[in-house]
Amino acid sequence: MKDFRIKTLICHVFHVLTHHRLQIDLLNLNNSIGYGSIGSILVKPIHAKKSFGQNFLQDSNICRKIVDFARIGESDTVIEIGPGTGQLTDAILQTGATVYGVEIDTDLIPQLKDRFAAPANPVGARFHLVEADVLELDWNLLIPKKHSPRDVNDSSQQKQIKLLGNLPYNIATRILTRMAEERIGFQSFTFMVQKEVADRILAAPGSKDYGYLTLVLAHRFRREKGFDVAPGAFRPRPKVISHVMQISPYVEPQEEIDYPFFLRLIQTAFRHRRKTLWNNLTGLGIEPDLLRQAFESLRIAPKARAEEISLEVYRSLTRVLSFTP
């Protein structure tokens, strides 16, 4: 009987301590969540959707690190791709920047509005929610005319428009290739992807990761390596390490080439990585004599493979084979 009373007393004390600890933890969370509302988080649970490739970034320290890496300032306008639960959004808004959040998930939209766009919220005037699919978005609606793609190489026209995003794993490469192919004007794009995708973007000639994605982005952008992010920073936890990096359009004008042919050329070049570049490019339907002359003039070895050829040589091949001056 005595043992039973002792156990009962211990359980009661534990319950009281746990209750007070929970109140303290919630208070600390509310103070650390910035401009957000803790009520919306507790009352409306959020579930990640596999169909959208969602892994919500939860670590506030990582959010601040991303914002610092992106060099976001008070005068910036930031287009955030997929604000999700708003943790990164909150870190951006704390810099004084204006944010346009592009979100497709209709379950998240009411909570983002409640958290940031409420009339009483001091950042309400600086937060704008765009309910859209980023893959189908008309970027001209967000980027003013002076920031149009034709001005992408004019640094005077790129006035502090920056893109940020924790990109869904299942559509990250499609988002990035669209940025390159449509020449969407922006000053910089800081994003997080799977580390293996970042390795492909940052790869150098001769490496196993060097390929089509490398060349598509390198042709349009400078690429800057950032930092890794462990799975524990997300909910739910992904099975892979992520990486934060940045791309930015070249400031100096680039020599024009036949871009559609360039894409077809590099896609064909890497179609069969175990074959030589020569064997792959015969699939373009170009006369063998013309292809041989191009290889000789550019000093490409007959047995060279696609991953051994630099971006500059692929550009030169495009000019020669597409008859672009």
What pLDDT, on a 0 to 100 scale, did the predictor assign at position 117? 83
Taking alpha carbons only, the member of 77, 42, 96, 36 closest to residue 60 is: 36
What pLDDT, on a 0 to 100 scale, did the predictor assign at position 51? 52
Q: Which positions ≥6 away from 141 have C-beta within 8 Å?
A: 130
The answer on pLDDT for 31 being more than 60 is no
Model confidence pLDDT, tens digit, residues 231-259: 999 988 889 999 999 999 998 777 889 99
Model confidence pLDDT, tens digit, residues 143-180: 754 444 444 444 444 457 999 999 988 899 999 999 99
What pLDDT, on a 0 to 100 scale, did the predictor assign at position 226? 98
% of the chain exceeding 90 in pLDDT: 61
The answer on pLDDT for 37 being more than 90 is no
Once rounded to an integer, what is the mean pLDDT over residues 272-280? 94
At residue 19 the predicted structure's pLDDT band, cuts being 50, 70 and 90, is very low
What pLDDT, on a 0 to 100 scale, did the predictor assign at position 255? 81
Q: In the Cβ-directed half-sphere of 216, how many Cα atoms lie within 13 Å?
A: 23
Model confidence pLDDT, tens digit, residues 61-89: 999 999 999 999 999 999 999 998 899 99
Model confidence pLDDT, tens digit, residues 108-150: 999 999 999 877 788 888 999 999 999 999 887 777 544 444 4
The answer on pLDDT for 15 being more than 90 is no
What pLDDT, on a 0 to 100 scale, did the predictor assign at position 50? 56
Question: Who wins on pLDDT, 33 or 202?
Answer: 202
Query: Full-prediction pTM beyond 0.85?
Result: no
Question: Average model confidence (pLDDT) for the chain?
Answer: 82
Taking alpha carbons only, the member of 135, 145, 80 closest to residue 108 is: 80
Model confidence pLDDT, tens digit, residues 285-309: 899 999 999 999 999 999 999 999 9
What pLDDT, on a 0 to 100 scale, did the predictor assign at position 270? 97
Cis peptide before 110 (omega within 30 of 0): no
CB 87 within 8 A of CB 58: yes
At residue 49 the predicted structure's pLDDT band, cuts being 50, 70 and 90, is low
Question: Who wins on pLDDT, 203 or 107?
Answer: 203
At residue 42 the predicted structure's pLDDT band, cuts being 50, 70 and 90, is very low
